[in-house]
Amino acid sequence: MTSHTEQSAVTVLGLGPMGRALAGAFLDAGLLTTVWNRTPGRDRELVERGAVGARSAEEAVAASRLTVVCVVNYDAVDGIVRRGAVTGALKGHTVVNLTADTPDRARNTAAWAAEHGIGYLDGAIMTPTTTIGTPAAVFLHSGPTEIYREHRPVLDALGGTHTHLGAEIGRAAAYDIALLDIFWTAMAGYAHALAVARAEGVTARELAPFAKGIGAILPPIFEEAAEEVDSGRFSGEGNPITSAVSSMAHIVHTSEAHGIDAGVMRAAEGMARRAIGRGHGTDGFIRITEILNPR
């Protein structure tokens, strides 16, 4: 049986901004925390707060039954844990990988872990470093339910909400990719809008309050669109795709008149026109989901 001390112990590999936030939250919760980073010196503040600074990745993973990894991508993960001594030290232990990458990479890493007798959960952090350890943090997890339940008490020290998405190991990464798609597409759209507005003599600060208003109307639209995509019924009663194409064309024209690249909007307009060409002109814009990913 595992002792209380061992149950509470956790190792954090990777001490970039997010890794330091994770380790700090564990320390704030009173957990015995071992830390390691490939670049020396990043553990100094954490060690001053009570963390144990490991001299090597092997020493770090051997110190705890649970290792949390958060580095730049899965290439970096592989460079740390897929080495003989470290892999050997992880046998019989569990890795919770909070590194962002693709669903296929998560599945590949899970297969490697299973081959070496290592418990594995994949995860995604959906909120900034400042939220870690607070109620505002959001974590997604996927992998074996029994492993998630076993380590949930330690993961709870990171604060916020933790959602287990099921046993299929790639689901957390799939959610992460889809949600980041929303975020970065929105940020690219906002950057483009600010450029067009500035070209027309409107400052970013002048536009921002109205941009926030656009953001506020999106949640119910997201819900309605999700229902349409899952049901396959794309109502354009309020705003048919023909109307959407017209407004997109105006954006393209104004942008290019100022010498501003309109490639993203041209791509969206092109998909909408393809939907119209297939006889869906009276449907809503979200019909383009079928163009992007036909059933």
Q: Give all domains of the chain, ordered by start, each with its CATH number.
A: 4-167 (3.40.50.720), 203-292 (1.10.1040.10)
Residues forming a β-bridge with 119 = 94
**Contact assessment for residue 141 and residue 172, using Cβ atoms and an 8 Å cutoff:** yes
Tokens representing residue 286 in the block: 């979200």
| pLDDT by position in tens, the chain (length 295) | 334 344 458 999 999 999 999 999 999 999 999 999 999 899 999 999 999 999 999 999 999 999 999 999 999 999 999 999 999 999 999 999 999 999 999 999 999 999 999 999 999 999 999 999 999 999 999 999 999 999 999 999 999 999 999 999 999 999 999 999 999 999 999 999 999 999 999 999 999 999 999 999 999 999 999 999 999 999 998 899 999 999 999 999 999 999 999 999 999 999 999 999 999 999 999 999 999 987 6
Q: Residue 139: how many CB atoms within 10 A of its CB?
A: 22
Contact partners, residue 167, CB within 8 Å, separation at least 6: 142, 143, 144, 145
pLDDT value of position 295: 64
pLDDT value of position 113: 98
Angle at 97 between CA 96 and CA 103, to 5 degrees: 125
Tokens representing residue 272 in the block: 């909408």
Residue 218: in which H helix or E strand, if any? Answer: helix 204-231
Q: How many angstroms separate the CA atoms of 159 and 179, rounded?
A: 20
Give rounded-to-5 percent helix, strand, coil for the chain: 60, 10, 30
Q: Residue 166: how many CB atoms within 10 A of its CB?
A: 15
pLDDT value of position 238: 86
DSSP code of residue 156: G
DSSP code of residue 266: H
